[in-house]
């Protein structure tokens, strides 16, 4: 397997969120710094803290979390481990989901709830403003425009620097942009799940950062003898590393945030930034999925 000893996130290149927040394109997702079902404290807190510290050492400058991870556990752990944050590190968090138990997620987009969620994140992260605050998921019981309007108010008040969306359609992005500038979109997207292809293409055209969640999925593509397996063997890499490299090659606005609570797994993920895929590799992977 490719290792990270000689590599860092810097190999992934830089993207400027909102044109004024430069981050290394390969970031870190902090959802897994929690218990089973993204609920409660992690089994090994010290391993999680070591992973966060190692991410920064390896040049990661975008750390993505949410108030619902735990809930509150991920944000608390990030602050306890890294605050005061290095000046080049961007902490992105989200509001708009509530938890009633392991693996249970419910959307709440009421403006008054979102304000309370933001204040909680500011307190836990020990920040006076959040650089990138994302609406976690549209709430079918609250008009989308009302929810986005709350984010616009937070930005006007200086509590957040930039607004991002998550789990949205192109139409919803366009609706939101009529209310407030949108600098990132975070949707599920990976080698085997291209349902948000139109969203990615839209973000590419508009210069909006696209943060794919669940980026490591490879499914049957990783079976022995598959196209992905052959490419991975040629590059002396893991299939998951090729999946990350594919995302980085897919568009210059893609910002993968693979998550883990293991230093060794983190190092393997970051090493993917140095992998070079050819046009033939990209075409072969596209054909394999099709």
Distances in Å between the Cα of 195 and the Cα atoms of 66, 67, 169, 177, 248 are: 23, 26, 10, 22, 18
Starting at the earlier edge strand, list the strands of the sheet with 130-135. 28-29, 62-64, 90-95, 130-135, 160-166, 182-188, 209-213
H/E element holding 15? strand 14-17
**DSSP state letter for 184:** E
Instruction: Tell me how far the alpha carbon of residue 156 is from its chain's centroid.
Output: 24
Which one of the listed residues 69, 133, 189, 202 is annotated catalytic? 69
Closest among 145, 71, 147, 160 to 108, alpha carbons compared? 147
Q: Which two tokens stand for residue 202?
A: 């839209």
What the block records as the tokens of 75 is 């944000």
Q: How far apart are CA 130 and CA 109, in angstroms?
A: 19
Three-state DSSP state, 95: strand
Q: Could you tell me which of 168, 250, 166 has the C-alpha nearest to residue 201?
A: 250
What do you get for the CA distance between the two ends of the chain, in Å?
A: 27
69 is catalytic: yes
Residues recognised as catalytic:
69
């Amino acid at each position: 397997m490719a290792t990270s000893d000689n590599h860092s996130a810097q190999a992934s290149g830089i993207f400027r969120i909102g044109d004024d927040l430069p981050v290394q394109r390969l970031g870190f997702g902090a959802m897994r710094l929690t218990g089973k079902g993204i609920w409660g404290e992690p089994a090994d807190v010290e391993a999680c803290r070591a992973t966060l510290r190692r991410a920064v050492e390896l040049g990661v400058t975008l750390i993505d979390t949410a108030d619902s991870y735990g809930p509150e556990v991920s944000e608390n752990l990030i602050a306890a481990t890294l605050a005061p944050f290095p000046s080049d590190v961007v902490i992105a968090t989200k509001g708009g989901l509530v938890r009633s138990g392991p693996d249970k997620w419910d959307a709440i987009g009421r403006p008054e709830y979102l304000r309370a969620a933001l204040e909680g994140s500011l307190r836990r992260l020990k920040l006076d403003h959040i650089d990138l605050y994302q609406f976690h998921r549209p709430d079918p019981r609250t008009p989308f425009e009302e929810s986005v309007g709350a984010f616009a108010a937070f930005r006007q008040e200086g509590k957040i620097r930039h607004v991002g969306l998550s789990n949205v359609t192109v139409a919803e992005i366009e609706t939101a942009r009529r209310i407030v500038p949108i600098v990132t979109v975070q949707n599920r997207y990976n080698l085997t799940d291209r349902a948000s292809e139109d969203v990615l293409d839209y973000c590419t055209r508009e210069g909006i950062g696209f943060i794919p969640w669940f980026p490591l999925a490879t499914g049957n593509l990783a079976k022995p003898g598959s196209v992905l397996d052959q490419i991975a063997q040629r590059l002396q890499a893991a299939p998951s590393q090729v999946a990350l490299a594919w995302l980085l090659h897919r568009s210059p606005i893609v910002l993968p945030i693979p998550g883990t609570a293991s230093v060794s797994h983190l190092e393997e993920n970051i090493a993917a930034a140095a992998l070079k895929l050819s046009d033939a590799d990209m075409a072969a992977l596209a054909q394999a999925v099709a």
